[in-house]
Amino acid sequence: MKKVLLYYPFEIAENANSGSKLRPKEIHQAFLSWGKENDAEILLLSGSSAAREELFNTWQSEGKLNDIWFCYMENQTIPFWLTDKGHIPKKPFIDLKVMKFLKQKNVPVGVFYRDVYWKFDELYPLKGPKKTIMKTVYRMEESFYQKYCDVIFLPSDAMGEYVDINQRKIALPPGGKAKNIIKKEKDSRTAQGIYVGGINNEDYGLFLLLDALEMANKDQRVCDLTVVCREDEFTSLPSDRRSRLEKLNVKVKHLSGEALNELYREMDFAFIPRYRSTYNDFSVPVKLVEYLSNELPVIATYCEAQRDIIETDGYGLICADQADDMAKAIEEMAGNTQIYRHNIKQTFADKHSWLARVKKVKSALLKEEL
């Protein structure tokens, strides 16, 4: 039986309440499903540095690592040396030990390099000497991947420009789920749109969306909007902004989990109105995948990575980060929702699921045709 090693140099979160915590769990489950279908044993090496070293030494002495087909690695937003509690590694050389072993065995290795926010001063919170030290450690991590990894997997092709690793770079499907969505009966002919996310940062574009909504509904009400956000963010919103939401009859809810999934069933389409920036151009919003997994067409601004996913297979409409252009998109979407929803049902699960992600990892590392 062939063996595939998943190497996670961190402890997997028990309560996965964000995309970054959820992804390692989801892709592990997808690998297990794929392994059953393809007669491959999936070995997960994860945990603290001490736990990884103990398990690696056990497997090595048992000969369990002698026939590894390929290795898929995940990284986090901090360099892997610092993922132990307190950011002090108890076994600082275990990652080098694992990668040297795999290199000696000629095992192809690929790492999912999830973010480069540390390269953008406006996004990276550290200042002064701490910032200088951390950026040096991040560059050491890039050098490590340069030496020991054959493929660098990325959230989008556009991010490759900002990754200083001279290896093959391949964007992976975002990891969606196939769901059998049964829509709820509608009480109104007016289209129902939803925005889920932050409301306290101009970059998120909620108030750009409100300007567009007001324009689209000027002569005839074509769209109702529901905003789902954290309760503390709504409470801390300035009174004039809360009044704006009330004036436009925007429903505000604070939901998550199954309650949010139920709300999605009442909606016709969703919004990602964030302003375009260098960082937003290459990042893939978790909410985009969540919307499409729930068969919701998307109106999104012209940020390159999200545009590629939405436009390629007709999952929604792309507009400029300007109110008049977004208003036109709202009017067009309100009358054509079913077309985009049909496209999502036809291709999204096959092309962008966790299983599709696993298959692309395998094909890239074994140098099969992509």
pLDDT tens by residue, 231-240:
999 999 999 9
pLDDT of residue 334: 95
- Reference 37, options 2, 74, 78, 66; nearest CA is 2
Give the mean model confidence (pLDDT) for residues 2-25.
Answer: 83
Q: How far apart are CA 178 and CA 202, in angstroms?
A: 32
| 199 and 227 Cβ atoms separated by less than 8 Å | yes
What are the pLDDT digits (tens) for 283-321?
999 999 999 999 999 999 999 999 999 999 999 999 999
SS3 assignment for the chain: CEEEEEECCCCCCCCCCCHHHHHHHHHHHHHHHHHHHCCEEEEEECCCHHHHHHHHHHHHHHCCCCCEEEEEEECCCCCHHHCCHHHCCCCCCHHHHHHHHHHHCCCCEEEECCCCHHHCCCCCCCCHHHHHHHHHHHHHHHHHHHHHCCEEEECCHHHHHHCCCCCEEEECCCCECCCCCCCCCCCCCCEEEEEECCCCCHHHCHHHHHHHHHHHCCCCCCEEEEEECCHHHHHCCCHHHHHHHHHCCCEEECCCHHHHHHHHCCCCEEEECCCCCHHHHHCCCHHHHHHHHCCCCEEEECCHHHHHHHHHCCCEEEECCCHHHHHHHHHHHHHHHHHHHHHHHHHHHHHHEHHHHHHHHHHHHCCCCC
Q: Do domains 2-175+353-365 and 191-351 have the same CATH topology?
A: yes
Q: How confident is the model at residue 21 (pLDDT cuts 50, 70, 90)?
A: confident
Q: The tokens of 303 are what? A: 């940020």
What pLDDT, on a 0 to 100 scale, did the predictor assign at position 16?
A: 58
Q: Give the pLDDT confidence score for residue 45 in this predicted structure.
A: 98
Per-residue pLDDT for 144 more than 60? yes
- Give pLDDT, residue 13: 79
> What confidence score (pLDDT) does residue 327 get?
98
Q: What confidence tens digit (pLDDT) does each residue in 163-181 have?
A: 999 999 999 999 988 777 7
CATH architecture entry for 191-351:
3-Layer(aba) Sandwich (3.40)
Retrieve residue 268's tokens.
Answer: 């016709």
| Confidence (pLDDT) at 285 | 92
Q: Which residue has the higher pLDDT, 15 or 229?
A: 229
On average, the pLDDT of the chain sits at 94
| 183-200 tens-digit pLDDT | 777 767 899 999 999 999
Q: Does 323 score more than 70 pLDDT?
A: yes
pLDDT of 19 > 70? The answer is no
Average pLDDT over residues 220-234: 96
- So where are the chain's domains? 2-175+353-365, 191-351
Over the range 155-184, which residues count as b (16 or more CB within 10 Å of their CB) and which as e?
Answer: bbebbbeebebebebbbbbbbbbeeeeeee
Give percent of the chain above pLDDT 70.
98
Would you state the CATH architecture of domain 2-175+353-365? 3-Layer(aba) Sandwich (3.40)
Which burial class, exposed, middle or buried, applies to 187 when counting CB atoms under 10 A from its CB (0-12, 13-18, 19+)? exposed
Least confident of 19-23, 54-58, 259-263: 19-23
Q: What is each CA distance from 361 to 21, 75, 79, 172, 202, in whole angstroms?
A: 19, 15, 22, 8, 36
Mean predicted confidence (pLDDT) in 340-361: 95
Rounded mean pLDDT, 6-24:
79
Rounded mean pLDDT of 4-16?
88
